[in-house]
């Protein structure tokens, strides 16, 4: 039985989700003006997480510093990130996809794969059902997606990156010569900037030219294992399965994919803090704690790596989780490989109380209670006035100090009430 895979990708996810919320409130659609998500306009700090199509015309790029973006477009409208909103919108569009596909794999917060193999009797026309899914997401949730259709995950994902927004594209074997091979080699999934520069320096400028290389020659350029992957990918070959996450896995996770690679600790830490803030807020809302923190990274060659740490005692404190995540990240990343994705996960969920093992438990108890009160205050204000009304620490340049026992204290929390 031939495989049929859909890849669904939200168009400018963070900005689209913020725009949809504002439109639902009767406000202007920020997708129609130069706008972006991320950073502090007044302090010109932070990075751009997403941008509108009008902003793109000014040369504004995802991942660049806010100050640089404002120098390109002084009138740029900036909205602060709201990861609780993003998780809500992500869950909503995934729920729509699960109505149509027997197996759905969430690839990141704003994209997923649908294994539609064996559904021909239900959906004789794959393009028609892709349009139906796309239109349902747009009409019911207020934001647009692209749908790529192919015989495997690679080609489906490549197809979804064709012309945007709100489009359906196909990429089947008979279409490779026309749609796939003429693309720049840097557009191939798994080819990062450094690999693209190396290949182009050798005169390999398109995916088609890469596909004409024999395997030994390609391995001599990029290495044995990566050479095999590029050899197959350039020919449209990919047999990786679509895998849904087990329903019984109890935990909280969030991840962010940036168009511009993360290349420094200074870039990574604000993103880690925002992710820890997002997952710990959701966990506290359920009245539980974590006993295990995990960090996931994805390299510019799309290699995933993860590491986790079991805690001495359960915690629900954002600062503690962030400090542990930073420590894990520092030991996981080699600081040489550019990163495209950062993720934080909390598992080992329990409703148990903290168990103090420190000789200085009285001091620790006082600090933990102080941190817990800060978290409760933050959660309450966000619940009443919206998640975007109070932002944490280094997400926007506030100072964070890390103690010897990997406990983080938010020194500055700036917010505003309506």
φ, ψ of residue 345 to 5 degrees: the values are -130, 145
Q: How far apart are CA 61 and CA 42, in angstroms?
A: 19
Provide DSSP, 65-78.
BHHHHHHH-TT-EE
C-alpha R_g of the chain: 22
Q: Which of 376-379's residues contact partners 24+ apart within 8 Å by CB, and which partners? A: 376/284, 378/281, 378/318, 378/413, 379/281, 379/284, 379/285
Report whether 48 contacts 60 (CB < 8 A). yes
**In sequence order, what are the residues at sequence separation of 6 or more whose Cβ sits closer than 8 angstroms to the Cβ of residue 35?**
15, 19, 51, 52, 54, 55, 76, 77, 78, 79
Q: Out of 27, 111, 266, 411, which one is annotated catalytic?
A: 111
> For residues 373 and 385, is the Cβ–Cβ distance under 8 A?
no
Let me know: does 50 contact 76? Beta carbons within 8 Å. Answer: no
Contact of 62 with 11, CB cutoff 8 Å? no
Is residue 111 annotated as part of the catalytic site, yes or no? yes
User: What does DSSP assign to residue 416?
Assistant: -
Short-list 103, 83, 110, 72, CA closest to 258 = 110
Work out the angle between the directed axes of helices 215-222 and 224-233 (0-180°, nearest 10): 130
Q: What CA–CA distance (Å, rounded) separates 135 from 129?
A: 10
Annotated active-site positions, please? 111
């Amino acid at each position: 039985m031939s495989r049929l895979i859909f890849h669904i990708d939200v168009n400018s996810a963070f900005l689209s989700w913020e725009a949809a919320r504002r439109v639902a409130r009767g406000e202007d659609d920020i997708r129609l003006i130069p706008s972006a998500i991320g950073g502090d306009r007044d302090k010109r700090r932070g990075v751009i997480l997403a941008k509108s199509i009008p902003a793109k015309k000014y040369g504004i790029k995802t991942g660049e510093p806010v100050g640089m973006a404002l120098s390109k477009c002084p009138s740029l409208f900036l909205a602060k990130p709201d990861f609780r909103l993003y998780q809500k919108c992500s869950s909503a569009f995934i729920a729509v996809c699960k109505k149509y596909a027997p197996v759905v794999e969430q690839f990141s917060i704003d994209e997923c794969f649908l294994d539609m193999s064996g559904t021909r009797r239900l959906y004789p026309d794959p393009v028609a059902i892709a349009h139906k899914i796309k239109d349902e997401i747009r009409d019911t949730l207020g934001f647009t997606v692209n749908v790529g259709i192919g015989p495997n995950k690679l080609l489906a994902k490549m197809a979804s990156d064709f012309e945007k927004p709100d489009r359906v594209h196909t990429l089947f074997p008979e279409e490779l010569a026309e749609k796939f091979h003429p693309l720049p080699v840097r557009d191939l999934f798994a080819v990062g900037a450094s690999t693209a520069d190396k290949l182009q320096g050798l005169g390999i400028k398109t995916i088609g030219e890469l596909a004409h290389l024999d395997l030994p020659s390609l391995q001599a350029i990029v290495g044995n294992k990566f050479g095999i992957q590029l050899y197959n990918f350039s020919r449209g070959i990919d047999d990786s399965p679509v895998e849904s996450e087990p329903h019984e896995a109890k935990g909280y996770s969030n991840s962010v994919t940036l168009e511009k690679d993360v290349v420094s600790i200074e870039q990574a830490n604000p993103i880690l803090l925002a992710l820890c803030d997002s997952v710990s807020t959701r966990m506290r809302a359920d009245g539980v704690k974590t006993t295990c923190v995990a960090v996931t990274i994805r390299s510019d060659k799309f290699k995933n790596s993860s590491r986790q740490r079991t805690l001495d005692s359960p915690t629900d404190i954002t600062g503690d989780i962030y400090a542990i995540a930073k420590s894990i990240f520092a030991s996981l990343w080699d600081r040489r490989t550019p990163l495209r994705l950062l993720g934080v996960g909390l598992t080992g969920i329990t409703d148990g109380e903290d168990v103090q093992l420190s000789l200085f438990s009285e001091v620790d108890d006082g600090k933990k209670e102080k941190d817990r009160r800060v978290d409760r205050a933050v959660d309450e204000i966000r619940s009443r006035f919206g998640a975007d009304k109070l932002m944490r620490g280094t997400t926007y340049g506030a100072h964070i100090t890390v103690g010897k026992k990997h406990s983080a204290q938010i020194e500055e929390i700036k917010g505003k009430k309506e």
